[in-house]
């Protein structure tokens, strides 16, 4: 970037040097300020020629005055052009310095933008990698948590199944206990029925005892009556026999008295009487024995009745005691069964409640862990989304900055191109102006230095007066056009 500027400066310096050379060459010529102009010398050296051509010399003097005026105007325009060229050169130097600074700034900006872009790319790549690793870790954690959640759900299902089985078993045990309680109640009812039956049997036994007592009394009375009647009948029979025997004895004694008996008859009678007496004694003895035996039997019957009463009362007392014991045992058993059932039910209910509490606590823990894991995942996702949004915003900002830098770079490049084109135009215009001015001044200087051939010019002045005026007017027009173009270009450059 510096080489063209130096070339431009050198190219701008060349016309200045040429203009200075031209100025040096022009100064000994037609200078209005110089004390010894060149035109005066030929007038002084060649008076003959001047005198010979006096009217033309007057014309030439007028023309020379005009030429001097034109030369002064051209010199002033040249000075003005030189000043404008110097100002343009200074402006070009300033613009070249600005161009160098802007080029340096552009290079620095491009380098800084490249470094920043590389850093941003590295940062974005590192963030992308970090986010990718975090996303993979989150995915792994989420998969692990989902697996843990699935295992927890499976455990919860298993625990629910166990709870259902335990509840079913508890329900079955409760049902079995209810069945046992119903059986015990049935047994108690049976025992109550048996007790009632025993009571009824007791009342029946009492009734039978009373009936037996009555029957015994009746039997006693009947037996007594029978024995008395039997004895009475036997006594009556014996009395009747005695009477009959007495009657027979009386009859026999009467017969004996009437007719004496033989000894055999007497002995028979005595034997008969003895036999009758023996029978009577035997009947009395048997009566006594039977009476004693009947009294003994009655006494034994009373004893048996008393013994049966005592045994019945003892049995009744034993049955009452057994009933009381059975009642107490049944009540104790009922209470024990109720207590056992209540204890079993309480223990089962406690175990079921504890299992339910454990299951509830485990389910709550799993729910809390799952909600915590979901919250952590949501927080991480939100943080990742925020970071992604921030990174996207940063990327958008960087992209906007890059776009802005690119736009500014493009604008600066366009400005640089415009300045280059403008500087080239200025340089070309300055070079063209310098060359044109140098060529015009050189031509005039050649005309001025050719004063030795003034007589040739004087000869040709009359014939070529119109051509000289045209030639004098054409450089003015050209200089005016050049100055106009330079002014327009300077205005464009300032815009």
Tens of pLDDT, residue by residue over 127-136, are 778 777 877 8
Mean pLDDT of the region 356-383: 79
Under 8 Å between Cβ of 88 and 16:
no
DSSP string, 295-338: HHHHHHHHHHHHHHHHHHHHHHHHHHHHHHHHHHHHHHHHHHHH
pTM greater than the 0.85 cutoff: no
More confident residue, 205 or 412: 412
Minimal CA–CA distance to 192: which of 343, 295, 323?
A: 323
* Residue 163 to residue 175: CA distance in whole angstroms: 17
- Sign of CA pseudo-dihedral 395, 401, 405, 407: positive
Rg of the chain's alpha carbons, rounded to an integer?
A: 87
Residue 274 pLDDT > 70: yes
Label residue 12 by pLDDT band (50, 70, 90).
very low
Query: pLDDT band at residue 457, thresholds of 50, 70 and 90?
Result: very low
What's the start-to-end Cα distance of the chain, in Å? 23
Q: Check if the beta carbon of residue 489 is closer than 8 Å to that of residue 425.
A: yes
The pLDDT of residue 458 is: 46
pLDDT of residue 239: 66
| Tens digits of residue pLDDT in 160-209 | 777 677 767 767 777 777 787 777 778 767 777 776 776 777 677 677 76
Measured at the CA of 193, the angle between CA 191 and CA 197, to 5 degrees, comes to 110
pLDDT band at 8 (very low <50, low <70, confident <90, very high): very low
What element of type H or E holds 68?
helix 54-258
Kindly report each contact of residues 252-257 with a partner whose C-beta sits within 8 Å and lies 24 or more positions away, as own/partner.
Answer: none
* pLDDT classification of 299: cutoffs 50, 70, 90: confident
């Amino acid at each position: 970037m510096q080489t063209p500027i130096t070339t431009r400066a050198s190219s701008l310096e060349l016309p200045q040097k040429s203009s200075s050379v031209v100025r040096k060459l022009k100064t000994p010529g037609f200078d209005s300020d110089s004390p010894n102009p060149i035109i005066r010398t030929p007038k002084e050296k060649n008076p003959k020629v001047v005198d010979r051509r006096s009217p033309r010399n007057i014309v030439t003097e007028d023309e020379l005055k005009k030429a001097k005026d034109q030369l002064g105007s051209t010199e002033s325009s040249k000075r003005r052009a030189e000043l404008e060229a110097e100002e343009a050169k200074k402006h070009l130097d300033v613009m070249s310095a600005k161009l160098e600074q802007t080029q340096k700034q552009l290079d620095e900006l491009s380098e800084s933008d490249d470094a920043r872009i590389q850093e941003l790319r590295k940062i974005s790549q590192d963030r992308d990698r970090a986010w990718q690793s975090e996303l993979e870790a989150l995915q792994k954690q989420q998969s692990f948590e989902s697996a843990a959640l699935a295992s927890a759900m499976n455990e919860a299902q298993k625990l629910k199944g166990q709870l259902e089985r335990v509840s079913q078993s508890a329900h079955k045990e409760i049902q079995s206990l209810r069945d046992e309680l119903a059986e015990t109640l049935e047994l108690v009812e049976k025992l109550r029925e048996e007790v009632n039956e025993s009571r009824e049997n007791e009342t029946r036994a009492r009734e039978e005892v009373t009936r037996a007592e009555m029957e015994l009394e009746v039997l006693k009375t009947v037996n007594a009556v029978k024995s008395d009647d039997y004895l009475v009948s036997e006594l009556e029979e014996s009395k009747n026999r005695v009477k009959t025997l007495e009657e027979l004895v009386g009859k026999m004694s009467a017969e004996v008295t009437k007719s004496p008996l033989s000894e055999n008859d007497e002995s028979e009678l005595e034997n008969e009487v003895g036999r009758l007496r023996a029978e009577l004694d035997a009947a009395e003895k048997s009566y006594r024995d039977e009476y004693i035996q009947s009294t003994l039997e009655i006494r034994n019957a009373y004893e048996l009745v008393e013994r049966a009463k005592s045994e019945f009362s003892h049995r009744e007392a034993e049955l009452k005691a057994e009933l009381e014991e059975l009642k107490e045992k049944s009540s104790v058993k009922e209470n024990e069964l109720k207590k056992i059932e209540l204890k079993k039910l309480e223990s089962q209910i406690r175990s079921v409640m504890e299992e339910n509490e454990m299951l509830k606590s485990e389910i709550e823990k799993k729910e809390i862990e799952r909600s915590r894991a979901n919250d952590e995942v949501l927080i991480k996702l939100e943080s990742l989304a925020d970071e992604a949004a921030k990174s996207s915003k940063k990327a958008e900002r960087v992209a906007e900055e890059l776009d802005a830098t690119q736009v500014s770079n493009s604008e600066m490049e366009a400005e640089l191109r415009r300045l280059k084109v403008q500087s080239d135009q200025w340089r070309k215009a300055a070079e063209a102006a310098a060359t044109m001015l140098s060529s015009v001044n050189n031509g005039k200087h050649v005309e001025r230095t050719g004063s030795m051939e003034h007589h040739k010019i004087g000869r040709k002045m009359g014939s070529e007066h119109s051509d000289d005026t045209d030639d004098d007017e054409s450089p003015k027009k050209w200089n005016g056009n050049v100055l106009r173009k330079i002014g327009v270009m300077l205005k464009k450059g300032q815009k």
